[in-house]
């Protein structure tokens, strides 16, 4: 008989990222109310059927050195770089307003990374590795991925970048750490809960996506031996000599419903550490055991901090503009031209 002992699939109450296919918003979803505080500028959407728009003046004037995954450094403009980031980080089929929000996030995060000078020794400003900076896709590679939709998607993403030319999210005058992730389990996470550092603009907020997200609910199944091997290789010092049903205990959750901490054989680890250890899509999970086999039931994808990309798309489908989306996910941040 199945004996769950860490129950309650976390759905949340009230962060880089892989492109996924977009699906429609569930019917009847109410728009998320925008948070006041962002500066506004007139938008000028460009239908995908029109010629590809040229990058805006601000983005075109900003040089950037990109460290590619093969070690080569390319020099390009901020506008051209942002096109490649948006193409790599968010499905091109998403709503235009979600793509615009993504463009602003990418621009802001780029400026934040430039200030950090983390790739100065390599002669670059930023890299194309999503685990360090942001993913990047060339127009040639994007066209191969998109096939017959390439022309429309190329123009759509170019419009998202051009229509937000130079727009940067700031807090106290500087660019924010505009992190983002794929999908949330009802709410985003506070930065302090994931990285141990509180940031006023990265706090938990409601996020409206749900079962329309591909692989929104996922499972990982591991045998007792696999769990024991993972714990041993991680050097946890866990005592796994007893019955497998006793290995996991004392699970706690954050206010957003993600796992804050748990014990494995008496060794305490964070929800994020457990996510990495067992290759889970997010730290929003439940775990049960039957006959020495553990099943992790997971909701959402990503670290959970900042803007949820599928949440942004759901907001756009419900009528929210890119400014409203950004105001919702980055509490108290302001828009400025450059930073």
Pair of tokens at residue 280: 């889970």
Going from the C-alpha of 4 to that of each of 11, 87, 165, 225, the distances in angstroms are 18, 41, 52, 19
Instruction: Determine the pLDDT at residue 338.
Output: 75
Crossing angle for the helix pair 150-162 and 78-89, nearest 10 degrees?
A: 120
Tokens representing residue 283 in the block: 């730290």
Q: How far is CA 306 from CA 28, 95, 188, 302, in A?
A: 25, 19, 7, 11
Neighbours of 171 (CB within 10 A): 18
pLDDT at position 123 over 80: yes
* Cross-strand bridge partners of residue 9: none
pLDDT at residue 23 is higher than 80: no
Residue 176 near residue 169 (C-beta atoms within 8 A): yes
**The predicted structure's pLDDT at residue 239:** 96
CA nearest neighbour of 189 among 317, 94, 275: 275
pLDDT, mean over the chain: 86
Does the predicted model carry a pTM greater than 0.85?
Answer: no
Please tell me the distance from the alpha carbon of residue 54 to that of residue 51, in angstroms, as a whole number.
9
Distance CA 27, CA 92 (A): 22
CA distance 23 to 10: 22
Q: pLDDT tens, 235-287? A: 999 999 999 999 999 999 999 999 999 999 999 999 999 999 999 999 999 99
Q: What is the pLDDT of residue 53?
A: 52
Residue given tokens 């051209």 in the structure block:
80
Distance CA 175, CA 339 (A): 6
Please name which of 51, 117, 55 lies closest in space to residue 86, comparing C-alpha atoms. 55
Residue 6: per-residue pLDDT: 35
Q: How far apart are the C-alpha atoms of 266 and 248, rounded to whole Å?
A: 8
For residues 50-70, give the mean pLDDT. Answer: 80
Q: Assess contact for 28 and 101: CB atoms under 8 A.
A: no
Q: How many CA atoms lie within 13 A of 330 on its CB side?
A: 30
Residue 31 pLDDT greater than 90, yes or no: no
Q: Which two tokens stand for residue 138?
A: 């060339």
Name beta bridge partners: 181.
308
d(CA 75, CA 65): 5
Q: Are 11 and 211 in contact (CB under 8 A)?
A: no
What residues are paired with 295 via a beta bridge? 221, 288
pLDDT tier, 52 (very low <50, low <70, confident <90, very high otherwise): low
């Amino acid at each position: 008989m199945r004996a769950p002992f860490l129950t309650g699939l976390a759905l949340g109450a009230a962060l880089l990222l892989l492109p996924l296919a977009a699906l429609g918003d569930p019917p009847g979803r109410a728009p998320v109310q925008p948070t006041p505080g962002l500066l506004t500028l007139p938008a000028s959407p460009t239908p995908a059927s029109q010629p590809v728009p040229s990058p805006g003046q601000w983005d075109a004037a900003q040089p950037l050195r990109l460290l590619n995954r093969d070690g080569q450094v390319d020099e390009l403009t901020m506008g051209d770089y942002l096109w490649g980031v948006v193409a790599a980080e968010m499905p091109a089929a998403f709503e235009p307003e979600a793509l615009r929000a993504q463009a602003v996030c990418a621009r802001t995060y780029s400026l934040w990374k430039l200030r950090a000078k983390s790739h100065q020794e390599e002669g670059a400003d930023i890299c194309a590795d999503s685990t360090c900076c942001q993913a990047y896709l060339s127009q040639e590679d994007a066209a191969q991925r998109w096939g017959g939709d390439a022309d429309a998607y190329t123009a759509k993403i170019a419009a998202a970048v051009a229509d937000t030319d130079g727009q940067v999210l700031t807090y106290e005058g500087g660019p924010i750490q505009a992190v983002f992730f794929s999908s949330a389990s009802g709410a985003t996470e506070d930065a302090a809960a994931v990285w141990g550092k509180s940031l006023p603009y990265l706090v938990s907020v409601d996020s409206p996506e749900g079962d329309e997200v591909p692989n929104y609910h996922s499972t990982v199944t591991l045998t007792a031996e696999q769990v024991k091997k993972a714990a041993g290789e991680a050097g946890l010092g866990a005592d796994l000599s007893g019955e497998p049903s006793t290995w996991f205990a004392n699970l706690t959750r954050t206010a957003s419903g993600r796992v804050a901490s748990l014990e494995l054989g008496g060794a305490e680890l964070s929800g994020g550490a457990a996510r990495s250890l067992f290759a889970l899509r997010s730290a929003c999970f439940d775990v049960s055991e039957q006959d020495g086999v553990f099943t992790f039931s997971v909701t959402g994808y990503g670290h959970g901090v900042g803007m949820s990309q599928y949440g942004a798309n759901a907001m756009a489908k419900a009528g929210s503009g890119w400014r409203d989306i950004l105001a919702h996910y980055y509490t108290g941040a302001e828009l400025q031209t450059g930073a």
